[in-house]
Amino acid sequence: MKKHQIAAQLFTVRDFIKDEKGIAESFAKVRSLGYETVQISGMGPIDEKVCKKLLDDNGLRCIATHESPKALFEEPMKIVERLKKLDCIHTAFPHPGPYPLNTADDVKKLANLLAKCGQILSENGIVLSYHNHHIEFKKIGGELILDTFLNTVPAEYLKMELDTYWAQFGGQEPSKRIKKLAGRMPLLHLKDYRINAENAVKFAEIGKGNLDWPDIIPSAEKGGTEWFIVEQDSCDGDPFEALGTSYNYIAANFCD
């Protein structure tokens, strides 16, 4: 892996990117940590051209976004226009949101929506990936929901952005799932998983938790993953410091 393939998921610092001033300051901080690439999510309203200039001014590149289910399903061409202004080809479906996943019909309905959206995006040069939480590892009709999505929607219309923490939380072995996704996972969310002193499951900086990174990261590289995106949903301290700790661990242990 090259260092520029380590991207910062800006959802990690969402409290600091609510307006243009905060976005500019946060871009500068993220770049100072070593990151050259970011995934946009959790950001306040800003014109894409202004955002692109701020990225350029700070030596950053947007390699992916998260977009709301509503925007993806109801206005996919607006997503195409937005990403082209950012010079970005990847986006991800972030969570089921208002779409229940309690029955086989629920799963089929969402799969059909993903297929329709993915086709429109694909025909316009944009790659749609699915970002998991733990719910997708529930079995309905004898099959994991995630597997139903991937088996139902053509691969050219839906790729995968596996989240390692949520895969583990859902009872999966992340590296095993990654190997199964070889060739279909351009994006990977790197997120560590720890048990704290009160025996509660918590998020952690990469290398500070229990996940098997010496298996996870090489397996993803071998399977063709292009972007290794660091995200921490919540941090005990400064989220920028958390991003820095994770970057330093990955760069020191897995980069050429």
Per-residue pLDDT tens over the stretch 70-81: 999 999 999 999
- Taking the CB of residue 236, how many other CB atoms lie within 10 A of it? 13
Pick from 185, 201, 181: which is nearest to 193 by CA?
201
pLDDT at 122: 99
* Residue 46: both structure tokens together: 């800003």
- Main-chain dihedrals φ then ψ at residue 242, nearest 5 degrees: -65, -45
**pLDDT at 107 (0 to 100):** 99
pLDDT at 156 (0 to 100):
99
CB of 210 closer than 8 Å to CB of 192: yes
SS3 assignment, position 221: helix
Q: CA–CA separation, 173 vs 149, rounded Å? A: 19
pLDDT at 72: 98
pLDDT at 18: 98
What local confidence, expressed as pLDDT, does residue 136 receive? 99
Distance, first Cα to last Cα, the chain: 6
Q: Which residues contact 133 (CB under 8 A, 6 or more apart)?
A: 95, 163, 166, 169, 170
Q: How far is the C-alpha of 227 from the C-alpha of 154, rounded, in Å?
A: 22
- Report the Cα 228 to chain-centroid distance in Å: 9
Q: What domains does the chain contain, in order, with CATH numbers? A: 3-254 (3.20.20.150)
Q: Which residues of the chain have pLDDT under 70?
A: none
pLDDT of residue 22: 99
